[in-house]
Amino acid sequence: MPGKNLTRDEAIARAALVSVDHYDVALDLTTSEKTFRSTTTVTFSSPEPGTSTFIDLIAESVQSITLNGEQLDPATHFDGVRIQLPELAGQNELTIDATALYMNTGEGLHRFVDPVDDEVYLYSQFEVADCRRMFAVFEQPDLKATYAFTVTAPSHWEVVSNSPTPEPTPVRDGVATWAFEATPRMSCYITALVAGPYAVVRDEVETRKGTVPLGIFCRKSMLQHLDADNIFDCTKRGFAFFENEFDSEYPFAKYDQLFTPEYNMGAMENAGAVTINEIYVFRAKVTEAIIERRALTILHELAHMWFGNLVTMKWWNDLWLNESFAEWASTTCQAEATQWETAWTTFGTSEKAWAYRQDQLSSTHPIVAPIRDLEDVEVNFDGITYAKGASVLKQLVAYVGREPFVAGLRAYFAKHAWGNTTLSDLLDELAATSGRDLDTWSKLWLETAGVNTLRPEVEVDDQGVVTSARIVQTYAEGYETLRPHRLAVGLYAVQGDALVRTDRLELDVDGESTDIPELVGRAQPDLLLVNDDDLAYAKIRLDERSLATALAHPRGFQDSLPRALVLGAAWDMTRDAETPGRAFVDLVLASLPGETDSTLLRTLLGQLQTTVAMYLAPEHRDESLARTVAALKELATRAEPGSDAQLQLVTAYAAMLTSAEDAAYARALLEGTEVLEGLAIDTEMRWTLLTSMAAAGAASEEEIRAERERDNTSTGREREARALAARPSAEAKAAAWAAGVESDELPNSVLDATSLGFGRAVDPSVLQPYVEKYHAMLLDVWEKRTHAIAEGIVQQFYPAALASRELLEATQAWLDAHREAPAALVRLVSENRDSIARALRAQERDAAGQQG
């Protein structure tokens, strides 16, 4: 997106010239359906009078620019993205009167019309650099200021921002103005405006600073589904935990959580006005995994009020610390202060798996990444920034000790409140409280990329007694770093059908080989589990005997954590083409019965789908698919009525079915001629079944349109788009492509749904024409669409289901021919290439069979 970028060098230079005091922002939201009036007055000082700088604004037009009483001509000073400010004074007052655009991409001020009642709902989303779409602003995190918003809007609306909502003043019939008090000093990316006839539920929480008002908002038509009590309960636990842990009172005047439609991410930590994806208001039965995830999200955003909002990174290169800290703090709170005591198991199963996947792409990067500009950071909301960072932070806590860690944090908050910091400010405090040298640790863990593999090697005599045992550490080519790991090794024995832990050793692993002398002279355990308890960030392998034991007793572990670790190792071995995909399918199918850990079940079902679709040799695919679908149906039929497993198994069955017979069964469930006891055929399950029928070519367009009539909501609109695009005909794929890629009419959420349907192909050959079309459209889409939209298209319209050599070669050819393309685009395309290259290696391994 040329022109909209901002480099780190520019930000540093501007911060040296500008010190911002205060913004008065007046918004009139009653002017039209496409645009709104935005008037900003900003006061700022400059230590170098006479120099020039710029302020950011993305707007349709600018009516006037007044700098220190002097008019500047918008025609020559505004280029659509920036306003040039010549001849600064020591103290400056700048007023900009502009016409800004509502967005339909989830960036800036997003406008949504509820199909249920035609009401208009607005919400803002400003990270990384989109508040310039709402008002003129020096858009970088270290130019903190105070903000006073004045909003003119329909008088029946709720208007919410960072400061408590004031009483509105009537302006004219049906229109009122809300004049908010100034915020505390903060970064612009956490300012917010949410407005519309939102429904609200109120409560309050006792804190160190006294009573803090709490609010939960959602669209009126969603209120019937809102379980506010659960959300308030989780929120209050978070307030108590964080105030105590950080020894610092909640920084803001109130805490509102707003569930907003057509939202790109999970949530956003706007100061005192958190926005959350509306999928977390449950309009139908959802999995336990999603409910747990929502709680984590609530705590994650709350943790940001201190780490991120009270103390803020100077530049986006410390985004990782912001996000990793929130991940670590929220998981700790969830494990210690809520019902989800196994939160760290979930962290291992989903977050860490994300980190390992990301860390093995060619685009991987050190946790502390060089962030040269906004484009670099836009693509860095990834598995390194969130999940690997949090894993390593967890290890840092172990390394310095929990008490010194918390003491360091408290000193950090006390010293830097309302300011900006870098990583070293935190490490300095932790070094001081722990007495540890963190320079070496930081270099090995934060400044290098890649994941190590840890493999046990055990030798025994003819009596089966261990004569030597060691853990061998390796690295991937190109990432030649060996790291220190504090970890545990579990010794398990087969007792009946169970695998019982008989001992646990904890040790430091470092270098290429680390002996385990405690094992020597003992009988070889049936199963040796490296990284038991999941303390380390590393891929693990099992020795031959242990692997055989695990495969023979897939349900042997009583706890879900060792089971998840062994299955995770098997998954890695499949992805790394060390074992054939069919063996993984067998292992998962044997492991599914009786699985009650919702996130583990969800993970396994996802891996099963990926394996069957991508990692099997083409000649094995049909047979394995048929076997898998039949097994899922059988398991779903036998699952406990109404259970989480039943819901997940039926959903996975629907996602994978291809045959007319299975589509007919799905129809029978939908129409009620077949009944699975306890399975609610609610709004979402209806769409799940109908979409599976559509994908198999067994549901007509009329039928899909009729379902939309029945569910005439914004979610219904998304589900309709997905089902239509999932149909197997060339015409359906062409229509999805035209709507999503060639037109910019679709709002973000409908576009996302369309791409999901497009990628679903019972016979992937229907996507063959898109090998060429995909690569041909990339530069154009990248240039013309906003970041969030372009990224979604690049990732989700890739015809990955083909998983063929031809696709790999076409993508590589594009990369070879476009070395000068924007780095962020190249990165996304190369990640697509990597996933196909990995799939082809796995397919070759699968073709070779067990002996390979």
Kindly write out the interface string for residues 314-333 of this chain, putting x where it contacts Zn ion by CB under 5 A and - elsewhere.
---------x--x-------
The residue number with the shortest CB distance to Zn ion is 326
Smallest distance, Zn ion to C-beta of residue 301, A:
7
Gyration radius (Cα) of the chain, Å: 28
| Residues 244, 303: Cα–Cα separation, whole Å | 12
Minimum gap (Å) between residue 198 Cβ and Zn ion = 23
Segment 815-844, which members bind Zn ion (CB under 5 A)? none
Q: Which two tokens stand for residue 145?
A: 């200021």
């009650």: which residue's tokens? 596
Q: Which is nearer to Zn ion, 88 or 326 (CB)?
A: 326
How far apart are CB 340 and Zn ion at their closest, in Å? 19
Which DSSP string do the residues of 524-538 spell out, in sequence order? PPSEEEEEETT-S-S
Spatial distance between the Cα atoms of 265 and 279, rounded to a whole number of angstroms: 10
Cis amide linkage into residue 128, ω under 30° from 0:
yes
Nearest of 271, 258, 256, 268 to residue 215 by alpha carbon = 256
274 binds Zn ion (CB under 5 A): no
Nearest distance in Å: CB 413, Zn ion:
17
d(CA 50, CA 48): 6
Query: What tokens does 650 get?
Result: 């039926």
We find the least distance from the C-beta atom of residue 527 to Zn ion, in angstroms, to be 38
Minimum Å distance from CB 197 to Zn ion?
A: 29
Q: Is-contact 38 77, C-beta < 8 A?
A: no
* CA distances from residue 3 to 7, 825, 834 in whole angstroms, order as listed: 11, 16, 30
* Shortest separation between residue 175's beta carbon and Zn ion, angstroms: 36
User: Between residues 134 and 303, which has the closer beta carbon with respect to Zn ion?
Assistant: 303
CA distance 807 to 345: 37
**Residue 179 contacts residue 170 (beta carbons within 8 Å):** no
Which residue in the list 107, 262, 301, 323 is annotated as catalytic? 301
Is 646 in contact with 637 (CB distance < 8 Å)? no
Dmax (CA) for the chain in angstroms is 94
CB 128 to Zn ion: min, Å: 12
- Residue 55 or 326 with smaller CB distance to Zn ion: 326
Long-range interactions of 816-825: CB distance < 8 A, separation 24+: 818/778, 818/779, 821/778, 821/779, 821/782, 822/375, 822/782, 823/375, 823/376, 824/375, 824/376, 824/378, 824/379, 825/778, 825/779, 825/782, 825/790, 825/794
Q: How far is CA 731 from the centre of its chain?
A: 32
Instruction: Please name the residue that has the structure tokens 């990597």.
Output: 834
Residues 6+ apart with CB under 8 A from 570: 550, 579, 583, 584, 587
Q: How far is the CB of 110 from Zn ion (least distance, A)?
A: 19
Quick one: 144 or 304, whose CB is closer to Zn ion? 304
User: CA torsion 50→56→59→61, rounded to 10°?
Assistant: 10
Active site residue 206: no
Q: CA quadruple 803, 575, 366, 265: dihedral positive or negative?
A: positive
Identify the CA nearest to 390 among candidates 437, 355, 338: 355
Rounded to a whole number of angstroms, the minimum distance from the CB of residue 800 to Zn ion is: 28
Does 296 help bind Zn ion (rule: CB under 5 A)?
no
| Contact between residue 318 and residue 141 where contact means Cβ atoms under 8 Å apart | no
- Cα three-residue angle 783-784-786, rounded to 5 degrees: 95
**Least spacing, CB of residue 346 vs Zn ion, in Å:** 17
How far is 841 from 829, CA to CA, in rounded Å?
Answer: 19
Q: Tell me how far CA of residue 512 lies from CA of 125, 338, 426, 520, in angstroms.
A: 47, 40, 31, 19
Nearer to Zn ion, 128 or 614 (CB): 128
Residues touching Zn ion, count (CB under 5 A):
2
Comparing CA positions, the residue from 616, 646, 643 lying closest to residue 628 is 616
CA distance 725 to 761: 10
Angle, CA of 263, 266 and 267, to the nearest 5°: 85
Sign of CA dihedral 538, 542, 543, 544: negative
Told to check if 305 binds Zn ion by CB under 5 A, we report no
Between vectors from CA 261 to CA 256 and to CA 263, what angle results, nearest 5°? 90
Q: Which CB sits closer to Zn ion, 188 or 326? A: 326
**CA angle (549 as vertex; 548, 555 as ends), nearest 5:** 120
Please report how close the Cβ of residue 316 comes to Zn ion at its closest, in angstroms.
13
Q: Name the site residues for Zn ion (rule: CB under 5 A).
A: 323, 326
Active site residues: 301
